[in-house]
Structure 1
Amino acid sequence: MKYVTRGAAAFAAGLLLSYATATYAADKPTLAFVVNGASDFWKAAEAGVKKAQAELPDFNMELKYPEQSSVAIQQRLMEDLVAAGVKGIMVSAVDPKTSTEGLNKIGSETALFTTDSDAPDTNRVAYIGSSNIDAGKQAAEIAKKAMPNGGKCIGFVGLLGADNAKERIQGMKDGLAGTKIELTDVRGDDIDQTRAKKNVEDALVASPDVTCMVGFYSYNTPRIYEALREAGKLGQITVVGFDDDPITLGGVKEGTIAATVVQQPYLWAYQGMKLMAAYLKGDKSGIPDGKLIIIPTKIIGKDDVDAYAANLKAMAGN
């Protein structure tokens, strides 16, 4: 009976997969935007996908979250999408350096694009997203303006192995070269927000001389803010942010966060989905020779928050 049950389950799973494949193939081409983990950061990308979908009704467009921020889980999600007949995938790879083979497998079976964290050693068609080196340099500019007499910074990030993390860190170090400010350590949390906050709490104990904290992923800055507030150190330690979480923007506006470097995931998704659609129709004119499409990052300071927040709200309404 146990064998029969397993066999029946496998047969049913096969039927479901066949049905999904038939649905995708018989209806209209499906494009998927696959993120690297659960985070409010990706809500803007959801809005971008929705905007592109409204303009391209002859395609199905989906944004997919892996169950966990794991190379294996993300790979399985993409393989399931390919098996179901998805024609194009845009992915923020969890760890491009260790998943080259898996990404190449996906790229050999569907049109593969990257965003947020590039995988330049794979067969991806193109990357659309930020220059993370430039973003790191902008973080350095924030720190230099906030700490003219120098200081010791500790950084916090989700995925230490991801290109976006490594490039932001390197960009910040490059931007701080020759100054009295030093980025002495960066702690990873594998996109576990409880761990992210604990990393900050532990750093306050282990490094009482720290004068600056940098949140390299969107949720890191809010966790820094919360940990500093609970420790009674909010406003005493310079905070350099990334992205536009409401807590981050609130801290910038009240002056407890020096400024934040914002990316534009809305445009990654909106322009990226349209780029994939054109590519699948045979129009490759949007793919530059270098296969890199850079959407600039910018610094949002105290005086910029209201206008920036209003623009975000307008985009989300599209």
Structure 2
Amino acid sequence: MKSAISIAALCAALMLGASMPIVAYAADKPTLAFVVNGASDFWKAAEAGVKKAQAELPDYNLELKYPEQSSVAIQQRLMDDLVTAGVKGIMVSAVDPKTSTDGLNKIASETALFTTDSDAPQTNRIAYIGSSNVDAGKQAAEIAKKAMPEGGKCLGFVGLLGADNARERIQGMKDGLAGTKIELVDVRGDDIDQTRAKKNVEDALVASPDVTCMVGFYSYNTPRIYEALRDAGKLGQITVVGFDDDPITLGGVKEGTVAATVVQQPFEWAYQGMKMMAAYLKGDKSSIPENKLLIIDTVIVGKDDVDAYAANLKKMAGN
């Protein structure tokens, strides 16, 4: 009877979508966790970075964790569970730093907290390891200016409008377009719902026929833009500015239907971040910059760069 009750409880928890309790970690082998903001192929490179760091940190247990949904509450619950289980350090891409200051500070009071991808500088995090999202936005503006010398109207698409990485990329692009004939007229969010992401593009094609440029600010947004334009027979008619290195995005860049893409280095975020956390826990703070920002440069990948870039990605992944 006892086992039957346990199985029933397990099934009920799964049906409710609840996180199962995380088994307590062994005290003799500290665990460090990399917590992302939602399910996306973008994080596969970070998984490879964690794997490489693990090979160099045999005295630690390194994990990459996905929340069940891209939500502040669910991400917070995941981190709370990790802390309860005894994790010694967390690196997190905060879903919405502006609304989760208290929650992140709670985690920072209980374990070593670092941020990545989307920073939370108003919290007590130890350091941020990731891109300068403002600079990445400015690079997106450079792509648009090169592709649209006569000007035009751009419409942006992004997952989390409230996340720092989104706000900073948008602002960076607007700053980069200042004084030109190109305008970023609006940005539409989808809460990391890829079906909704594609529908946002489809709706825009109907509601905003004067738009001549579309910008995918998150890794999956450019592929959804590509698919919507392809389905509407408008590939090549609208300038597409991409972010990150989804295979569909890189394929579009190579065939010329995506002007170029701004790529980040999540592999390096995870690899360098895990090593930084491990050193910090041992009392070595020398790798933490004075301004608490370790910026990993973003780069523009254009048509002539795709093959070399893709080959390097495979090498990093160990393929």
* TM-score normalised according to structure 1 size: 0.94
Structure 2: distance between partners of 1:26 and 1:266: 27
| Paired letter, 1:247 | I
Partner of 1:300: 301
- Cα displacement string for residues 48-78 of structure 1 (whole angstroms, at most 9, x for unaligned residues): 0000000100000000000000000000000
Residue 210 of structure 1 pairs with residue 211 of structure 2? yes
Residue 20 of structure 1 pairs with residue 23 of structure 2? yes
Partner of 1:31: 32
Residue 51 of structure 1 pairs with residue 52 of structure 2? yes
Structure 1: distance between partners of 2:147 and 2:175: 17
Structure 1: distance between partners of 2:318 and 2:287: 27
| Paired letter, 2:164 | D
- Cα displacement string for residues 107-140 of structure 1 (whole angstroms, at most 9, x for unaligned residues): 0000000000000000000000000000000000
Residue 181 of structure 1 pairs with residue 176 of structure 2? no
Partner of 1:132: 133
- Cα displacement string for residues 15-38 of structure 1 (whole angstroms, at most 9, x for unaligned residues): x96x932xx133400000000000
| Paired letter, 1:280 | L
SS at match of 2:26: helix
- Cα displacement string for residues 143-192 of structure 1 (whole angstroms, at most 9, x for unaligned residues): 00000000000000000000000000000000000000000000000000
SS at match of 2:91: strand
Matches within 5 A, 1:250-289: 250-289=251-290
SS at match of 2:114: strand
Partner of 1:195: 196
Q: Give unmatched runs, 5+ long, in structure 2.
A: 14-19
Partner of 2:16: none
Partner of 1:171: 172
SS at match of 2:187: strand
What RMSD, in angstroms, separates the aligned Cα atoms of the two structures? 1.8
Residue 238 of structure 1 pairs with residue 239 of structure 2? yes
Task: Report the alpha carbon displacement of residue 9 of structure 1 after superposing the two structures with TM.
Answer: 6.1
Partner of 1:98: 99
SS at match of 1:45: helix
Partner of 1:119: 120
Structure 1: distance between partners of 2:132 and 2:145: 20
Partner of 1:247: 248
SS at match of 1:25: coil
Task: Report the alpha carbon displacement of residue 288 of structure 1 after superposing the two structures with TM.
Answer: 1.1
Structure 2: distance between partners of 1:9 and 1:161: 36
| Paired letter, 1:94 | V
Partner of 2:142: 141
Structure 2: distance between partners of 1:207 and 1:299: 28
- Cα displacement string for residues 65-117 of structure 1 (whole angstroms, at most 9, x for unaligned residues): 00000000000000000000000000000000000000000000000000000
SS at match of 2:242: strand
SS at match of 2:184: strand
Structure 2: distance between partners of 1:49 and 1:299: 24
Task: Report the alpha carbon displacement of residue 289 of structure 1 after superposing the two structures with TM.
Answer: 1.1
Count residues in correspondence. 307
| Paired letter, 2:200 | N
SS at match of 2:223: helix
| Paired letter, 2:222 | T
Q: Give unmatched runs, 5+ long, in structure 1.
A: none
Structure 1: distance between partners of 2:73 and 2:313: 33
| Paired letter, 2:266 | P
| Paired letter, 1:87 | K
Partner of 2:227: 226
Matches within 5 A, 1:77-92: 77-92=78-93
Structure 2: distance between partners of 1:26 and 1:161: 37
| Paired letter, 1:291 | K
- Cα displacement string for residues 204-225 of structure 1 (whole angstroms, at most 9, x for unaligned residues): 0110011000000000000000
Moved over 2 A (4+): none
SS at match of 2:214: strand
